[in-house]
């Protein structure tokens, strides 16, 4: 059974989005432009309300899925389908934008600690013009595995008997939030064709058998394709493990739109400007 090793370690870059929300971006950067099917990964978090209070006012998307996972703080979601939700610690928002959605994500807090993540997943051409879908998952609905070495929250996929609420998905995603005690192991068999990565929130990890660079906070750890993943915590650690089946189609980007051709990007911009973008 082929052992998964580290391909590359990328330090997240400081960035901003929305109305100036400060964040750390690790996928969607010069060093990690696109990990098929994953287009972007942002960590947003601060103790300073000025870094997040302006939020993400109404803006459009087409052709992608956004997965938001909240660890601290509260955000309110509202979109053009009529969906609304108040995200609290542990909650997940999984939005399939399809042919077009306009949404806002605004802080429901005026002070305190904010911490969360947003992952963008590409959609295959055959699904990019589908009607949008919005899935709001409360933290208590996540699959949870606990033993004397680790705690794993399962958003998508399955770990032993714990299964995530997102199932029957075209890229067969795996999305775990792992807390691992010092000198303990996280072992998992990954589908061989899946691309995968670890995002290290805090701590230090040893992955596989080969020597690799030091891992520390806010590191994106890109993994080789393989079958068996073995992770050892050098000290108490917390990380996200994400994997998915590649789509393997051309990508054209235009800000909040991701399609297969430049012509489709221009069409999305035209639809948004003429008011037909989010008409279902």
- pLDDT tens for the chain, 280 residues long, are 699 999 999 999 988 887 678 889 999 999 999 999 999 999 988 888 888 888 888 899 999 999 999 999 998 999 898 888 899 999 999 999 999 999 998 888 778 888 999 999 999 999 999 999 999 999 999 999 999 999 999 999 999 999 999 988 999 999 999 999 999 999 999 998 999 999 999 999 999 989 898 888 878 999 999 999 999 999 999 999 999 999 999 999 999 999 999 999 999 999 999 988 877 6
CA dist 229 and 207 (Å) reads 8
Question: What CATH number corresponds to the domain at position 43?
Answer: 2.60.120.10
Task: Give domain status of residue 280, yes or no.
Answer: no
What distance, in Å, lies between the first and last C-alpha atoms of the chain? 48
* Contact between 128 and 99 (Cβ < 8 Å): yes
Task: Give domain status of residue 98, yes or no.
Answer: yes
190 vs 5, 38, 51, 196, 200, CA distance in Å? 12, 16, 37, 8, 18
The number of domains in the chain is 1
Q: Is the peptide bond before 223 cis (omega within 30 degrees of 0)?
A: no
Task: Give domain status of residue 190, yes or no.
Answer: yes
CA dist 213 and 197 (Å) reads 15
Task: Give domain status of residue 279, yes or no.
Answer: no
Task: Give domain status of residue 1, yes or no.
Answer: no
Range of the domain at 78: 6-273
């Amino acid at each position: 059974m082929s052992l998964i090793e580290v391909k590359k370690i990328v330090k997240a870059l400081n960035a901003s989005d929305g109305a100036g929300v400060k964040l750390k971006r690790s996928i969607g950067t010069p060093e990690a432009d696109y990990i098929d099917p994953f287009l972007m990964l942002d960590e947003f978090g601060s103790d300073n309300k000025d870094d997040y209070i302006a939020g993400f006012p109404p803006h459009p998307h087409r052709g992608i899925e956004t997965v938001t996972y909240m660890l601290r703080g509260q955000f309110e979601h509202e979109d053009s389908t009529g969906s609304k939700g108040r995200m609290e610690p542990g909650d997940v928002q999984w939005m399939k934008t399809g042919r077009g959605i306009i949404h806002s994500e605004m802080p429901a807090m005026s002070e305190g600690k904010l911490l969360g993540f947003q992952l963008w997943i590409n959609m295959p051409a055959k699904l990019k013009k589908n009607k949008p879908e919005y899935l709001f998952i409360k933290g208590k609905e996540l699959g949870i595995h606990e033993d004397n070495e680790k705690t794993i929250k399962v958003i998508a996929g399955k770990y032993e008997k714990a299964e995530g609420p997102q199932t029957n998905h075209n890229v067969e995603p795996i999305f775990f939030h792992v807390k691992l005690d010092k000198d303990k192991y996280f072992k998992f068999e990954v589908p061989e064709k899946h691309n995968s990565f670890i995002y290290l929130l805090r701590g230090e990890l040893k992955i596989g058998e080969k020597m690799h660079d030091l891992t520390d906070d806010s590191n994106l750890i890109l993994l080789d394709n393989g079958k068996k993943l073995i992770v050892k915590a050098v000290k108490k650690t917390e990380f996200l493990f994400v994997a998915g089946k590649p789509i393997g189609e051309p990508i054209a980007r235009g800000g909040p739109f991701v399609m297969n051709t430049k012509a489709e990007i221009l069409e999305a911009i035209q639809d948004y400007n003429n008011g037909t973008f989010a008409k279902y």
